[in-house]
Amino acid sequence: MSLSRKGFLKMLGLGALAAGSKAYGLPSKALEDARAAAKKLKITDVEIFLFDIPLTSPFRIAIGEMKAANDLLIRIRTDQGVVGLGEACPFPPITGETQATNAAAARSIRDMLIGKDPLAIDALLREIGPLVHSNPSAVAAFDMALHDILGKVAGLPLFRLLGGTKNTFETDITTSLDTLENMTAESKKYADMGYKTLKVKVGLDPDEDFARLSAIRAAIGHGVAIRIDANQGWTVPQAVYALRKMEPLAIQFCEQPVLASDTAGLKAVRSQSPIAIMADEALFGPADAIKLIRAEACDTFNIKVMKAGGLLNSIRIAHIADAANMRCMVGCMLESKLALTAAAHVVASQANIVYADLDGNSDHVTDPIIDGITVKAGVLTLPEKPGLGCDVDPAYVKKLQKI
């Protein structure tokens, strides 16, 4: 018995596809015209703004302190009115970039992009590569804006376009370094807000780190998970000592216990630690993922859109990890809700990204982003609008310095 294509699709329950585009409320001519227009789309303008957001209190980790998010906002315009938004959030102690180096990189990327097809994302990123070096956050801002345009042209939220189905997942919230009393009070506050997972910064004196974590565990009980992040603050012997001592505290995993450059040290810690090891500062792009997997240096990855240089590279890392049967987290720097929404689309698109740490704007004094993700008691929900699904308040943009 032969089966026509239409019959085959109907058999699979895809009657709407078989019936043609009318099922979606669009006459097929209009759909064809839209597809033809998308293929001719051109970038006509790129706007770059200095995007500074002060923090309500300094964010302290083992290797530095930040008092503000000194970001860039990128807006890519096209000849058909579709606009893409992106954000760079350089974190100097980790990525070595600053707002000034990102701005210089962004200017050269802008000049290259004018007149190009915004949907040719892979090709454009390959052109950006030789233009800038060591400015992954600047590249991430452009990659994000191009993906925003792609989603808007396709009429789909990015996570759905990228193959995801679930628009909601759990995120943790971070307690930064402070006194034992303050860290305990802050962690208790988050647990009382309904967060099911807390991330706690460590990486100072191992005994003092242990005392702080013990106090936090006692205050919040065992119904809330704790993951920790040493931000490269320990030596290998300190890390092994600390992690063995912390075993009774039921720690989910420890991020970057030792120096990012010390792959052998990371492996040594992993082989002696009762707590799983996550690479963060040691992992920027896909090549680092391959290096760490080959070295068997860690159990999991913390992917960040800013370190990876965008969504495409973040997804590449997740794919590499998946092939090695490794699960991942997506984390953040101190991004606004714009870049956090982009990171959330990455989480929702990949089955092996099972942890999220998307709280970068929790200490921002202002949120100028319209729509995007919502987070309630640690449950993050993505918007169902096309592209990233967020915008920036036009009145706020008018006050920003354009460069």
In the bound state with Mg ion, the residue whose beta carbon lies nearer, of 136 and 387, is 136
The Cα–Cα gap between 52 and 69 comes to: 6
Q: Considering only 62-70, 125-133, 210-218, 253-261, which stretch makes contact with Mg ion by CB under 5 A?
A: 253-261
**Residue 76 · residue 111 · CB < 8 Å:** no
Residues 19 to 78: which contact Mg ion by CB under 5 A?
Answer: none
Number of residue whose CB is nearest Mg ion: 280
**Residue 257 · residue 234 · CB < 8 Å:** yes
Minimum CB–partner distance for residue 204 and Mg ion (Å)? 15
Q: What is the 3-state secondary structure (H, E, C) of 244-287?
A: HHCHHHCEEEEECCCCCCCHHHHHHHHHHCCCCEEECCCCCCHH
Instruction: Answer yes or no: 385 catalytic.
Output: no
**Residue 237 · residue 262 · CB < 8 Å:** no
The Cα–Cα gap between 93 and 233 comes to: 12
How is residue 320 written in tokens?
Answer: 């590499």
Residue 229 sits in the site that holds Mg ion (CB under 5 A): yes
Q: Considering only 221-229, 237-245, 287-295, 363-371, which stretch makes contact with Mg ion by CB under 5 A?
A: 221-229
Minimum CB–partner distance for residue 304 and Mg ion (Å)? 8
In the bound state with Mg ion, the residue whose beta carbon lies nearer, of 172 and 255, is 255
Catalytic residue among 199, 267, 304, 337: 304
How deeply is 192 buried, as exposed, middle or buried, from its count of CB atoms within 10 A (0-12, 13-18, 19+)?
Answer: exposed
The residues, any chain, with a CB within 8 Å of residue 192's CB and separated by 6 or more, are none
How is residue 382 written in tokens?
Answer: 């993505």
Residue tagged 């790129």 (tokens): 46
In the bound state with Mg ion, the residue whose beta carbon lies nearer, of 87 and 255, is 255
Minimum CB–partner distance for residue 256 and Mg ion (Å)? 6
In the bound state with Mg ion, the residue whose beta carbon lies nearer, of 335 and 391, is 335
CA angle, 201 as apex, 199 and 204 as ends, to 5°? Answer: 155
The residues, any chain, with a CB within 8 Å of residue 198's CB and separated by 6 or more, are 172, 173, 174, 175, 187, 190, 191, 216, 220, 224, 225, 226, 227
Q: Considering only 104-112, 122-130, 274-282, 360-368, which stretch makes contact with Mg ion by CB under 5 A?
A: 274-282
Minimum CB–partner distance for residue 260 and Mg ion (Å)? 10
Minimum CB–partner distance for residue 299 and Mg ion (Å)? 14
Hey, how many other C-beta atoms are within 10 angstroms of the C-beta on 121?
18
Instruction: Answer yes or no: 304 catalytic.
Output: yes
Catalytic residue among 201, 267, 307, 337: 201
**Of 71, 148, 280, 335, which lies in the binding site for Mg ion, with binding defined by CB under 5 A?**
280
The Cα–Cα gap between 368 and 229 comes to: 29
In the bound state with Mg ion, the residue whose beta carbon lies nearer, of 186 and 280, is 280
Q: Which helix (H) or strand (E) holds 173?
A: strand 173-175
How is residue 260 written in tokens?
Answer: 């990012």
Minimum CB–partner distance for residue 231 and Mg ion (Å)? 6
In the bound state with Mg ion, the residue whose beta carbon lies nearer, of 87 and 357, is 357
In the bound state with Mg ion, the residue whose beta carbon lies nearer, of 97 and 229, is 229
Residue 172 sits in the site that holds Mg ion (CB under 5 A): no
**Residue 11 · residue 3 · CB < 8 Å:** yes
Minimum CB–partner distance for residue 174 and Mg ion (Å)? 9
The residues, any chain, with a CB within 8 Å of residue 18's CB and separated by 6 or more, are 5, 6, 9, 10
Q: Considering only 158-166, 249-257, 282-290, 395-403, which stretch makes contact with Mg ion by CB under 5 A?
A: 249-257
Residue 335 sits in the site that holds Mg ion (CB under 5 A): no
Q: Considering only 71-79, 223-231, 236-244, 269-277, which stretch makes contact with Mg ion by CB under 5 A?
A: 223-231
Q: Considering only 138-146, 189-197, 214-222, 254-262, which stretch makes contact with Mg ion by CB under 5 A?
A: 254-262
In the bound state with Mg ion, the residue whose beta carbon lies nearer, of 47 and 299, is 299
Residue 363 sits in the site that holds Mg ion (CB under 5 A): no
Number of residues located near Mg ion, criterion CB under 5 A: 3
**Of 97, 186, 255, 359, which lies in the binding site for Mg ion, with binding defined by CB under 5 A?**
255
Minimum CB–partner distance for residue 361 and Mg ion (Å)? 17
Residue numbers annotated as active site? 201, 304
Positions that interact with Mg ion (CB under 5 A): 229, 255, 280
